[in-house]
Structure 1
């Protein structure tokens, strides 16, 4: 009998598209210093001597008129986001118009009074069916110290203020537009009491008090009544109180700490002498809301005056005089909500004023800038630093750093025992109190800057062209693990080649080709897996095994070449493909060899926990299935390419049981046009499509990896190529499997496969399908699950902002569970800051069983009928794995606008250095073309900002500038990652007239532009 010939197996990849030589040469002139030439099966890249990248796009001038200074700007629902109405003095009028759109809304405004004045408040809502109320919040305790709560949708009254205060509009019921007007009035020599004021919540607020303040208040009373006043004390102070009254009466003074609550349980100090006048001094630490009660011990109907003189504390610093009880500055108990502080029929209305910061900050640290004082009484000018020191020291602060001639970092030692929220509240109270001090230009939290994502970004030369890694959330996975050198991956392919990007990652392997004529090296089995090439002179060699190995584990973060999926894993080449392909028998022996099992060669190796087989063809072989089963039982996971025939016919070895079959997707995460589809497909990964350039990087959308070029002599072993195929998809999965095992080396092949499939991002029809199996491999979710997943599901969205530029449009944002367990989506809501209800969102898809119950979030915009302009909104997703917020901007209008003509500076700001630096600049004029090009950019992370510099101070987007823009929209900053050979276009964004009053915490210096001579 003649033996049956074994079926031939060929590499599961399609040769990559090659650029025309002239085009590629032109690219060499602009991007790299030297380029390799010649033929091959893909686009070869030679490491450049020096590179620059480019960012380009178009800006749109949507608003060229001054913004309405009276119009509220969202978000302004916490004191830390308050709209700044500015400074108010006697004779000044401040106005604000706004809208409460939901019963739970609050609108917060900030005012600053340089001197103590009385403010007349007038508030009118437009809806007769609504009832809106107004509160005044002090800057020290952040408590509602005055309340205007009539049953009508109109409020009026007066309050006293000095320093900073917050005016809060909130709904008792219903919604309404409104107008708020604040008019400054001069105070007389004496501030009179206001009834009722018998309990602390009713006490009249008198503003902030610092050293040198002298105020006289007056009133009258009968036995059984009290008169109470509230004083905000931002600095440590010794205050002298002198209460004078008529002979025959006896009035006493009681002092309460109202900082934590306007319902203090007992006074901390009393003055109950029988003398006239009643005189006492009170030592208070910084940041105290002090309640002063004038109470009759024996009185008919008497008038009285209380003289308040504030000086410095008895001791230079805290703690204060031991003879005086130490006040409790902030309670660690949950603070009372505003409904507990109200009186009258509205006392049951639930309303809590949020005080937390919208972004994390370093509690106890502020960034403060002071103005220099022109001259003192002695004629010596006081520097800004001296003035700042004199201001913050009585508050318990000290300067710990300062930018030359710029802002300083001021540190405050917060009281002990504060929880995170109270520490945050205290820090903002310090900030708010400083904003109202004479000579302070601004005070803001020291915001904590976090990475855009928990991820590792390698510095390899061509990493920016490896789009396929971002697609599977690999950088985020690297933030968890970069692999382990105890994990070994066998590459059953064409063998190894010498390359700087692979040499240190490869262990000794084996040449398992038994037929010398196929091997091409003159012999059969041997211990040298060197790929001698499979070209024929006219057709360059594929060097397929090197390309596969480079995807799995090219040396990474070495400033050279490309990155691999794993940074630590050892690669073992087992050569099975030679001239004309390879045989099933040789591959059977190779699988056994890589699993550490006996085989025909008589040689074995240490167990390779993962085997990558980017090859296939032929029909079913029971011998091969038996070998797969044996290797799996020994602890080796077999990963194989699904095939490139665009066919539903099963391909082997991918279709064998116990093999993880990998299909390919393109740049758009859709089934690649060549990828096989079959019920045995388990998972998908990037395989590329070299016929397209959808990301606009001037290179085909193939998978870039190591591949020598023997189209000329000598062979260039330091070359790289774009390939496409399920051969390229499989090593992505094999590499992720190695990362999973680095997190939990005790996992079995079945468990690793279950993790990879269970955490995949569902694509195509909901659930498992023939094109993608269980979905696109998700490296971050897989390694997180292997590490325990943080104890539960974790919600992740594939984007954090969206920009639409047509009136009607839709976009899908992928929902991923990057933790463990089932992610259950609970609700999705959409809100807009202006323009009405143009934004909506809903969950779509049934998700992935055991991972998430919805596959994506569909965001819809319908701006039909809206005027040209910029509209902003937010989508909020709530789940059992946390909350995610998505910023959405709708930009309507053409590139350009009416109104004045301005020079606009477009900047590329490097955010990988501290402080961020402007690296490139483009100047355009709003009367001409609005296209920009930022060139000569090194690799790194950038934000793009544009704006005017009409005051010619060297900064854009600072206060008073008419135009400012940030890609993709103000408030939606996005990091642009630029590779060393990057060229990113289409970065379009709008310019608008910024409302600086709503930009809480924004540095007034803006962004530094380059001198005009530095323009690119």
Structure 2
């Protein structure tokens, strides 16, 4: 249970704290300017609030009208829905559907209309990545780099054999005439992108924001009138497909300064933003994005998102895309159950599950007959929002200690005297040495106290940086969170049990805590596996443009590395996608050029 801390100001710098067990304690000294910090204001719910009139968002699909163009039919359907009281938001001419807000009375009337096939909720969709957190825009349209370094070849990239296709010599240079994705366009339907990231500048071929209804699909939103960047989900998936050689940004110390390279480094990307900065979106936005991808002549569409419920209107638009010759790839979801997610489970979509770098199914990856292929989905390194991946460095007297930043930590560096604050259950826990002039707080994990509560108590005592000492060897330095993305946190990191024991013997010494923002991060989820498959599909098609979309699908299935039970199974589908085997098979089946 979350423990709430409330503060009443007494004498300007005194507060009364309510602790677990509801036992009041003596007032504590709190540093000036920190007494207003409280956990008593929960985050606003991201769920849509009900309207006073009981209206809901729905998708209305009509029966096709013979001898009438799709556009005329869509206009007529929209007009008819309005006459019945619907507030029409979108028209989808390719599937005879409109998205609208309707009252219960209007919905009941629509259901009785013989021209209406079905009325269904405009259900929410969500990103399928697991949680892990100002530069000028780049000049777009430049050609892709053809050389970099083999250090850019991530574990996932090598697991799907991509370098074996376009860097047979292993020298960090794209082989002449090798399939690299050239001539192929992949439409990424996700949370948008960071247009400042050098990994994606060359690949970007256009975009559309289906939340803000403009042509700038940036992974941004507004909070209290201030523009904030999202979590980088769309940037991560797009870079897995198309990051280019030699285009490095700010990397973790010890990693290749050139960053990463995508599965198909010369492919073109269309970016469709349908998810907000929390990773949430709607079915109508996905349908609109699919129609847009089709209209832009995309070859492949990649969706690292979905819902646990099917949608008839959504199924229709994916059937339309399939009929138009697109290859659709979607994530199966992260609930670790045999329940399907959509669109991955539609027959016209390649549903993708996740495996780790040993080829074992990830425990979170959903399984069932809807799984067609699997790809790397555990700890996948790719680009993210510029500066959006905090990296922690703790040093003392020239010695560096392994550490991990807490989610939502502030970015910055501070050097000060180390003070042990015990388990941080009270402001007074920091004891002797704590001063409002600042110090580095060492706080022990444990005690049934939330990390954010520990951090707030240390901050009220005057801490300008915090080190959480782990109390177990099982998870190294840990992977913790401050829970709430508020603006009062200080640089906060966690260290291993061994380091925590060392720091307890260093109380009073000068310690530096430095949390900086990196431009790459590791993420897990079927979201991360999906773009690997989309990228391999792009390599197959760039090896032979004469292949049909059905042939590309068959080649991906037949060339996959069989995992689990022999043959196709519900855990791994046809197996782990393999670029080299798929391209070789594509070249074998490629029809000779016409005379």
State the alpha-carbon separation in 1 of the partners of residues 291 and 151 from structure 2.
Answer: 36
Given the alignment, which residue of 564, 573, 588 partners 2:271? 573
2:304 to 610, 614, 634: 614
Please give the root-mean-square deviation of Cα atoms over the aligned residues, in Å. Answer: 2.9
- The one of 232, 240, 243 equivalent to 1:554 is 243
Shift in Å at residue 463 of structure 1?
Answer: 1.8
**For residues 544 and 461 of structure 1, what CA distance do their matches in structure 2 show?**
25
The change in CA–CA distance for 1:752 and 1:535 in structure 2 (over 3 A counts) is: farther
- Give, in angstroms, the shift of residue 458 of structure 1: 6.3
What is the CA distance between 1:716 and its match in structure 2?
9.0
Separation (CA, whole Å) in 2 of partners of 1:587 and 1:14: 21
| Contact kept in structure 2, 1:687 and 1:702, CA below 8 Å | yes
Structure-1 separation of matches of 2:567 and 2:304 = 26
Q: Give me the whole-angstrom Cα distance separating, in 1, the residues matched to 2:384 and 2:149.
A: 12
Structure 1 residue 683 corresponds to structure 2 residue 373? yes
Structure of higher RCO (CA pairs closer than 8 Å, 6+ residues apart) = 2
- Asked if 1:511 corresponds to 2:209, the answer is yes
Corresponding position: 1:490 with 2:187: yes
Matches within 5 A, 1:512-911: 512-513=210-211, 524-533=212-221, 541-558=230-247, 560-580=258-278, 581-596=280-295, 605=296, 607-688=297-378, 701-710=379-388, 719-788=519-588
Conserved 8 A contact 2:219-2:230: no
The worse-fitting range, judged by mean Cα deviation, of 580-589 and 656-665 is 580-589
- For 1:28-107, list aligned pairs within 5 A: 40=133
Structure 1 stretches of 4+ with a deviation exceeding 4 A read 533-537, 710-718
CA contact (8 A) 2:199 2:383 kept: no
Alpha-carbon deviation of 1:550?
A: 0.5
1:878-907 per-residue CA deviation (whole Å, 9 max, x = no partner) reads: xxxxxxxxxxxxxxxxxxxxxxxxxxxxxx
Contact 2:157–2:262 (CA under 8 A) maintained in structure 1: no
Secondary structure, aligned partner of 1:788? helix
How much does 1:643 deviate?
Answer: 0.6
**SS state at 1:612 partner:** strand
CA-to-partner distance for each residue in 1:86-113, whole Å, 9 max, x for gaps?
Answer: xxxxxxxxxxxxxxxxxxxxxxxxxxxx
Distance of 1:460 and 1:541 partners within structure 2: 30
Supply the distance in 1 between the matched residues of 2:270 and 2:517 (Cα, whole angstroms).
19
- Partners of 1:534 and 1:10 in 2: CA distance: 19
Shift of 1:745: 1.3
Q: Say whether the 8 Å CA contact 1:491–1:549 is kept in structure 2.
A: yes
Q: Which whole-Å CA distance do the structure 2 matches of 1:657 and 1:683 have between them?
A: 13
1:629-668, Cα deviation, whole Å (9 max, x unpaired): 1111112111000110001011001001110000000011
- Native 8 Å contact 1:14 1:723 kept in 2: yes
Q: Is the 2:229–2:385 contact (alpha carbons within 8 Å) kept by the matching residues of 1?
A: no
Query: C-alpha distance in 2, partners of 1:774/1:622?
Result: 27
Q: Are residues 713 and 461 of structure 1, via their aligned partners in 2, closer, same or farther at CA, if it must alter by over 3 Å?
A: farther
Answer yes or no: is the 8 Å Cα contact 1:619–1:652 preserved in 2.
yes
Separation in 2, partners of 1:533, 1:722: 23
Change (3 A) 1:634 1:664: same
Q: Which residue of 1 aligns with 2:446?
A: none
- What secondary structure is seen at the aligned counterpart in 1 of 2:358? coil
Distance 1:774 1:786 in 2: 17
Q: Give per-residue Cα distances to partners, 1:379-438, cap 9 Å, x unaligned.
A: xxxxxxxxxxxxxxxxxxxxxxxxxxxxxxxxxxxxxxxxxxxxxxxxxxxxxxxxxxxx
Deviation at 1:704, TM superposition (A): 3.3
Distance 1:534 1:566, change over 3 A: farther
Q: In the TM superposition, what whole-angstrom CA distance separates every residue of 1:803-854 from its partner, at most 9, and x where no partner exists?
A: xxxxxxxxxxxxxxxxxxxxxxxxxxxxxxxxxxxxxxxxxxxxxxxxxxxx
- 1:887 aligned residue: none
CA distance in 2, matches of 1:717, 1:751: 43
Contact 2:179-2:540 at 8 Å conserved across structures:
no
Distance in 2 between the 1:702 and 1:533 partners? 25
Shift of 1:557: 4.4
State the Cα distance separating 1:552 from its structure 2 match.
0.3
Q: CA deviation at 1:573?
A: 0.3
Secondary structure in structure 2 of the residue aligned to 1:671:
coil
Matches of 1:500 and 1:718, distance apart in 2: 13
- Does the aligned pair in 2 maintain the 1:11–1:614 contact within 8 Å? yes
Task: Kindly state the Cα deviation for residue 505 of structure 1 after the two structures are TM-superposed.
Answer: 1.1
Consecutive unaligned residues of structure 1, counting only runs of 5 or more, are: 17-39, 41-456, 514-523, 597-604, 689-700, 792-1016
Q: Secondary structure at the match of 2:202?
A: helix
- The structure that is helix-richer by fraction is 2
SS in 1 for 2:560: coil
Provide TM-score, normalisation by structure 1.
0.30
Superposed, 1:846-995 pairs within 5 Å as none
Question: How far apart, in 1, do the equivalents of 2:517 and 2:202 lie?
Answer: 15
CA contact (8 A) 1:506 1:570 kept: yes
Aligned mates of 1:585, 1:500 — CA distance in 2? 31
**Which residue does the alignment assign to 1:255?**
none
Preserved CA contact (<8 Å) 1:594 1:611: yes
Shift of 1:579: 4.4
Q: How much has 1:679 moved relative to structure 2?
A: 0.6
Secondary structure, aligned partner of 2:382: strand
Shift of the 674–535 alpha-carbon distance from structure 1 to 2, 3 Å rule, reads farther
Contact map agreement 1:556 1:563 (CA 8 A) in 2: yes
1:783 offset after TM fit, Å?
0.8
- The 3-state SS of whatever aligns with 1:787 is helix
